[in-house]
Structures are given as C-alpha cells and as structure tokens.
Amino acid sequence: MELEGAGAIVAGGASGLGEASARTLVEAGAKVLIVDLNTDKGNALASELGPAAEFVAADVTDPEAIGNAVRQAASVDGGLRVSICCAGVGWAERLAHKNGPHNLELFTKVITVNLIGTFNVLRLCAAAMSENEPNEEGERGVCVNTASIAAFDGQIGQVAYAASKAGIAGMTLPAARDMAARGIRVVTIAPGLFDTPLLAALPEEARQSLGAGIPYPSRLGRPEEYAELALQIVANPMLNGETIRLDGALRMPPK
C-alpha cells in the first residue's frame, strides 16, 4: 500500500500506541486524522506534526461522530487507505469477590468502548475504503486493530478486559474474509506490556519489574515498536486476517 499522500485515521491517536502510529504514518507520507477524546493532547500532537496531521475529538462508540471523522479522512486526494484503532479502556475486578459479583455496568463499559468501539471504527472505515480505486494488486485499504495478549492470557481481575480484547481478535478473520472481495485487509496487533501512559503511572520499580519478566527483550515494549509493526502490516499485502502477538515471548501468569 502506497502511503505518500494517502489518507489515514488513527483512533485513540493522541497518546501511547496511537500517538506513535500517527507519527510513523506522517513520516511515511500519509495525511493523518487523529481521533481521540483528549482534546488538549490531540491538538498539541497535530500541531507538532504539521500540515500532514489534523485532530478531531470523537468517541469511538459514537456512529455519527466517527462517521464524520471517516468522511473527513477520506476527503484527501488519495482517499482513506489506512485505519489504526488503538482506543480502549481497562478495568480490574474479579468475577465475584467479598463485595459481591463483578459490576455489570463496568463490564458493559469495557466491552462497549474496546470491542464495539473498535467494530464501529472498522465498519465505517471499511465502507469508506470500498469506494477507493484499487492499486495494481487490487488493494483498496488496510485496517489495523488493537487487541492484547490478555485476549489469550487474561489474568485474575481481567475478565472484562480480556473478553473485550478476545472479541477483537475473534472478529479479525471473518472481517478480513468479508472484505477480501473489495481488496481491504484486516489485521490485529496483540501487544504485551508496553510503556504507555497507563503503565507510566506505576512506580519506576514496578515498571522495571514488569519489564524484567519479559523473556526477550527484557523491558517494556516501546510504542514506536507497535507503530513499526503497523507500518509493516500496511506494506505487506500478504498479511491479512491474522492477530499478531507483539510481546517479547511473554506469556502472562495468572497474576
């Protein structure tokens, strides 16, 4: 997929994995629309990246807001060719505990943002990409979603988060099969422990301990490494319908 002048959208793009992806796409020549709820960070990032980047505030679960964002991203001359969805939330609670059963409202919130939000971005971007002229290989676009190794190695207290990320992994192959006739690829990245704002809140000793538990390299993943893989997915037309673990061979213990 040729990125020079192409439109790209990064949901959850104001920080962490999404920010790194937006930076990498701009460096590769794409016109990037950053979508996030954090207006201050989103505007600051778009301003820093220059005329090749714009920011729009939108909730991934809002069909109208994301529809407007997708139309904006698709309005560039090259059309919308790449979508990367990194938006997500987490919650830690056991299925049942001394205070009673898992909070259903919070379980629903995690599923709504992580799984339904990702699906909302995916379906709208795929529809917009379907209108593109195909390249010489018949390709019209690439959709990259973000799961987690928790989809496979969910820990104690991660029932909501693991279920939401497993759903993203589970819809990858059927989504890719749905869009194959239109030349649109769908691939999911399942990161392990990455140095994102979520982990930045932990004490340095705790961060070092988490990194040391990764077989190799024994450190937290860098957001740029996620972005590099996303760019490699965009570049390689044979990568399709797959969920790729990006975790340094980490397999999470129960807790």
Q: From the CA atom positions of the chain, what is the Rg in Å?
A: 18
Q: Distances from the Cα of 154 to the Cαs of 104, 189, 251, in angstroms?
A: 18, 16, 10
Options 119, 161, 194, 226, the catalytic residue: 161
CA dist 114 and 164 (Å) reads 6
Assess whether 226 carries a catalytic annotation.
no
Pick the closest to residue 46 from 61, 67, 31, 58 (CA basis).
Answer: 31
Nearest to 107 by CA among 151, 160, 158: 160
Whose tokens are 């290989």? That residue is 137
Structure tokens that stand for 125 in this block = 């971007």
DSSP state of 138: S
- DSSP element (H, E) containing 211: helix 204-212
Sequence length of the chain is 255
**Catalytically annotated residues:** 161
